[in-house]
């Protein structure tokens, strides 16, 4: 069972305790139609039936089949029900054997982390995150979701590695504005009854600050002149826009989510016009088998994709 963005859920670490995924794939198909024929047919030599907008003719002797769309029939006579007594075709149709053909077996082996999340190396040399056949990566700083095959990758040959045990550091620096993630925690309904059953909540705590001393030093005489107070206040408001606290999104192996309490985060960061620093918390509700991958936000006008994927955020909680 693999994670697919639109078809099934990915499993989390230790859900099955898989140590190896291997198998053999065989492809069965009908032979490709190769012959052509144009003629009038009747039920003496052929069994003729009308089936869901197509006409099927089976040679009673050779069992070869002709399949043609109803639009290619100029004339036909029914013998009752879906059976036809005769039919005349206006154009060539393809004829071929109905026997199945089988491709040579293909043996494969993929890493068990394919069931959850793993780091993979893209053709560009950059790292992405693969969950099943879906790759989550940064494209011009923004999150992108692509199929492995679209990127020219295959689960059995891709250059892969495990995600780190703990989430990497997330730090932001824009002019005199600085921010960093101080903690990341994942909770379920058993930890917090306010969380809906079958859902989990990712809580990301941030610390953000504006260095007034450095800002005033950069402004120079403008920070001590006649209009100093207004100038400093206007510059501080500009610096505060370096990071929109309520615009930080969570990227998972399925989608991109906004924090349900982003309004509170925005209000907390608005306090920076009067204080040097403050803390704010962003909470994201995700599905049971949804895996956190990264945080997406803009620093100034630059889009940023900061990975947070870790084994700690994939741990299965049986409660």
- Residue-wise pLDDT tens for the chain (319 aa)? 444 444 445 555 445 567 778 889 888 776 655 455 557 888 888 998 888 778 888 999 988 888 888 777 778 888 888 888 888 877 654 555 556 778 888 888 888 888 889 999 998 889 999 998 899 999 999 999 999 889 988 888 889 999 999 999 999 999 999 999 999 999 988 888 888 888 899 999 999 999 988 988 888 888 787 788 888 888 888 999 999 999 999 999 999 999 999 999 999 999 888 888 899 999 999 998 899 999 999 999 899 999 999 999 987 665 5
Report whether 119 contacts 163 (CB < 8 A): yes
User: Which of 53, 70, 102 is a domain's end point?
Assistant: 102
Domain containing 82 equals 28-102
Quick check: is 138 in a domain? no
- CB-facing half-sphere around the CA of 125: CA atoms within 13 A: 0
Q: 27, 205, 20: which is closest to 105 by C-alpha?
A: 27
Quick check: is 56 in a domain? yes
In angstroms, the CA 319 to CA 279 distance is 31
Q: Are residues 168 and 304 in the same domain?
A: yes
Quick check: is 282 in a domain? yes
Quick check: is 258 in a domain? yes
Q: What is the pLDDT of residue 88?
A: 82
pTM for this prediction: 0.71
Q: Are residues 92 and 219 in the same domain?
A: no
Q: Are residues 215 and 293 in the same domain?
A: yes
> In what helix (H) or strand (E) does residue 232 lie, and over which residues does it extend?
helix 228-240
Report whether 291 contacts 117 (CB < 8 A): yes
- Coil, helix or strand at residue 259: coil
Q: Are residues 183 and 98 in the same domain?
A: no
Number of compact structural domains in the chain: 2
Quick check: is 32 in a domain? yes
Please give the structure tokens belonging to residue 247.
């615009």
Q: Are residues 169 and 306 in the same domain?
A: yes
Q: Are residues 83 and 201 in the same domain?
A: no
In angstroms, the CA 279 to CA 269 distance is 8
User: Which of 102, 117, 147 is a domain's end point?
Assistant: 102
Predicted confidence (pLDDT) per residue in 43-60, tens digit: 888 998 888 778 888 999
Q: Are residues 80 and 169 in the same domain?
A: no
Report whether 30 contacts 100 (CB < 8 A): yes
Q: Are residues 64 and 169 in the same domain?
A: no
């Amino acid at each position: 069972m693999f994670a697919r963005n639109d078809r099934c859920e990915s499993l989390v670490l230790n859900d099955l305790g898989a140590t190896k995924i291997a198998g053999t794939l065989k492809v069965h198909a009908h032979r490709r139609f190769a012959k052509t024929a144009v003629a009038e047919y009747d039920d003496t030599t052929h069994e003729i039936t009308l089936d869901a907008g197509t006409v099927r003719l089976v040679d009673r002797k050779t069992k070869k089949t002709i399949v043609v769309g109803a639009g290619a029939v100029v004339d036909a006579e029914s013998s009752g029900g879906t059976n036809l007594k005769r039919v005349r075709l206006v154009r060539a149709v393809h004829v071929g054997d109905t026997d199945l053909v089988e491709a040579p077996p293909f043996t494969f082996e993929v890493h068990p982390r394919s069931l959850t999340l793993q780091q993979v190396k893209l053709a560009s040399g950059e790292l992405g995150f693969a969950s099943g056949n879906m790759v989550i990566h940064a494209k011009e700083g923004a999150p992108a979701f692509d199929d492995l095959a679209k990127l020219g990758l295959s689960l059995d040959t891709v250059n892969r590695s495990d995600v780190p045990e703990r989430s990497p550091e997330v730090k932001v620096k824009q002019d005199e504005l600085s921010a960093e993630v101080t903690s990341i925690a994942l909770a379920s309904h058993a930890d917090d009854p306010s969380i809906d059953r079958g859902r989990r909540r990712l809580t990301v705590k941030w610390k953000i600050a504006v260095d007034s001393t450095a800002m005033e030093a950069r402004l120079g005489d403008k920070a001590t002149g006649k209009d100093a107070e207004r100038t400093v206040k206007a510059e501080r408001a500009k610096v505060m826009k370096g990071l929109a606290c309520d615009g930080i999104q969570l990227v998972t192996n399925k989608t991109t989510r906004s924090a349900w309490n982003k309004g509170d985060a925005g209000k907390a960061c608005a306090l920076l016009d009067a204080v040097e620093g403050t803390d704010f918390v962003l909470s994201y509700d995700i599905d049971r088998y949804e895996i956190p991958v990264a945080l997406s936000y803009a620093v100034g006008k630059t889009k940023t994709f900061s990975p947070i994927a870790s084994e700690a955020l994939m741990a299965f909680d049986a409660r």
